[in-house]
Structure 1
Amino acid sequence: MNQVVFAISDATGYYWYYTAVAMASMLSQASEKPNILLLHDGKLSEVAVRRLNLIAQDEGAPLRMLKVDLERPIGDDKLGPYTVASLYRLLIPSLLSAEDTALYLDSDLVFHGIDVHEMFALIRANEAALLAVRDQFIGLSDKHLEPLKALGLDPLRYFNSGVLGFHGRALEPSDRALFNDFLSWSRQAMFSHHPDQDFLNDRFKNRWLELDENYNFHVSIYDRRMFLQPHAYHGKILHYAGKAKPLDGSLAPGCIPFWSYASKVPELMTSQKRFDFHYLMPIINRQHAASALVVKPR
């Protein structure tokens, strides 16, 4: 069975918009509709549940929503800006049979001119324990680089956990207990900026297979990724990793693909969420920075 997995803990009541747009973009271009599993904390609104089900039904994709009951396993000081849902992906190996494949997707991404069937074909052809894309930018900041060195992780062989492919047959029996092993690991790790991601990199250090960057293409201010020509975003899984995200009000060429799929989520147009729109502009002679011009209502 081919299964796409999303995970969400929606404390604000608005993050599900990202999940809905991601799901809609993925299904709209899927030649074969995968099964979808949504791991959640039980706080999804009725509106969110209805819309997510409608998106799946309209595309003919089976959707199962599974409530995950986890006590806060580690403190806020270790999870940092991430929600407990970032740990749900650690449960995926325990849900797979030997013949199953799973593709975990962060919510803040869109499929743009790419068929999810390509990903499952790669997972089945390679039968690696884990398929992922190397994080191109993790070593740019000392804030990220120093903890990696302390954990014994090589930034040049470090993957981003926003898109992960699992093959049940390639997993080791011990991988079924990833979550419990993470709890033990986190007690030993003095500091980790991306706890679950660092743990996965440590656990699968010599067992993961690197995919082409197009399968997890970071759209952020780094390397001016927000300011490419529109055609450069086609044929990729676009991941809005970082602080500049479409629903935070950021406007730039890189956000256009996201809004092209947002019509599948009409609640965005009637939401009580306030969008403080601002134009992002590259800064001359600074490759990894941008300025913002606020769009004021007339």
Structure 2
Amino acid sequence: MAFLKSHRLPPTPQNYTLAYIALHDRGSPIALAIKAITDEGFRIKQDEVDTIFERHGGLAIFGLQERANISLATQLRHQTLKISELTSSAADATGAFARELSEEADAFSGDNANALSIMTKMVEHSLQAQSRLTAAVQEVKSLREELEAARNDAHRDELTGLANRRAIDALLVELADKGEARVIGLCDIDNFKSVNDRYGHSVGDRVIKLVAKTLEETCAPHFVGRWGGEEFIVIMRSRDFKGGAKLLDKARFELAEKEFKLRETDEPMGLLSFSGGVALATGGREANAATLKAADEALYRAKSSGRNCVICTEEF
């Protein structure tokens, strides 16, 4: 509460949450983002709090993630019911066709005219049933594609197209449960706040997308995700954490080689860089949290050492 009062922030659940994180989890992305603003004695403003909260996934604390889960589940239930309806409709059509064939067979008298009439009806009903079944199959295919797209959207970051926190957490749990060693690298764009302040959020978004693309291309085929805000994560199925640090360093070099210009004035923005921290996890799920913390601490040391570098740490 003293923190909120000193920064003239109202004691809302969101502000209280950020203040708690800033004071009690100093190595977290949210705490580091707050520290970057307040380090030199500046007061953090409400709009800056809102931006940090949004960019670092804080909205999930208040249930937006749960609502996303509910939305996906609702779509799944809707599509399951639709498939059930289509299957039932196709079964009814097939049953009716079988009854009609049976009735026509009972009425068959053997003369050619009657046989031709029966055969014509059989062909007509067969074509109608086929048309209905084809339409049902196509709709089931469309529903399956919609469900797959919804599932993919739920695991993708909207701005960059990279994996989001949901997908990142799922992969880390999967690797831990399989007992696979994993190198975890965290990257944070250097001086990103000054980019937003000077050029605006639209330019900031372009910078984020450029860094995302550079990491994705340089670190392929390894997993790259957006950790939150201007932070990214790279997960490698390997024990070679020093090799992981070298790979991130290569991506850092590739980014520095790119010439980023403002669209409006064609003015070059100068050096774009990121700092990185790398750690190795070899244990179960508990090792994920310890390794993420270690990578984050290494990232903080990289920032404190002058930025634009990658530091690796010990195994967990």
Normalised TM-score (structure 2): 0.25
Of structures 1 and 2, the one scoring higher in RCO (CA 8 A, sep 6+) is: 1
Larger Rg: 2
